[in-house]
């Protein structure tokens, strides 16, 4: 089967358009900016004790809070290199924001905003990531 020059030109144009669209889609997926839950408007504002009590009484409440930006106020119980614990709530900081942890000491009352990522009902542990101190 022999293609006419006009049909070859149309196929070539469609091929080039497909390459451009595919390249742009790949670039967008791999290089789009990541979510910053610390700069979002919080969906919920709670104390650490209230959040702990909510999950202790009703473990299914995690579906309400999961993947939402939350603002938590509580007393620091432990400070790590990339995380802070507010009782049983572990607040993980990204590498670029670990400098915020340097001035924090156990016993200090702080406000932390981040994304609730998991709840382990066996250990009664709540994990919040993408944190920022407010």
The residue among 35, 18, 15 whose CA lies nearest residue 26 is: 18
Calpha distance 71→46 (Å, rounded): 6
Give buried/exposed letters for 69-102 (b at 16+ CB in 10 A, else e): bbbbbbebeeeeeebbbbbbbbbbbeeebeebbe
pLDDT for res 12: 94
The token pair at 91 is 């607040």
Structure-block tokens of residue 65 = 């809070």
Distances, alpha carbon 54 to alpha carbons 4, 41, 69, 94, 102, in Å: 71, 21, 17, 27, 30
27 vs 98, residue with greater confidence: 27
The pLDDT confidence band at residue 47, using thresholds 50, 70 and 90, is very high
Q: pLDDT averaged over the chain?
A: 90
Give the pLDDT confidence of 29-41 residue by residue, as tens digits.
Answer: 888 877 888 788 9
| pLDDT in the model for residue 84 | 94
Using a 10 angstrom Cβ sphere, with 0-12 exposed, 13-18 middle and 19 or more buried, the burial of residue 111 is middle
What integer is the mean pLDDT of 99-111? Answer: 90
| pLDDT for res 29 | 86
User: Backbone phi, then psi, for 116, in 5-degree steps?
Assistant: -70, 115
Residue 86 vs residue 98, higher pLDDT: 86
pLDDT of residue 96: 83
């Amino acid at each position: 089967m022999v293609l006419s020059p006009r049909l070859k030109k149309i196929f070539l144009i469609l091929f080039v358009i497909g390459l451009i669209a595919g390249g742009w889609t790949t670039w967008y997926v791999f290089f789009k900016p990541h979510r910053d839950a610390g700069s979002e408007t919080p969906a919920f504002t709670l104390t650490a004790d209230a959040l702990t009590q909510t999950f202790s009484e009703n473990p299914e409440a995690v579906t309400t809070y999961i993947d939402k930006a939350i603002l938590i106020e509580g007393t620091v119980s432990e400070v790590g290199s990339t995380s802070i614990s507010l009782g049983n709530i572990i607040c993980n900081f990204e590498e670029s924001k670990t400098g915020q942890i340097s001035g924090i000491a156990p016993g200090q009352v702080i406000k932390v905003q981040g994304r609730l990522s998991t709840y382990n009902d066996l250990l009664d542990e709540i994990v919040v990531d993408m944190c920022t101190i407010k």
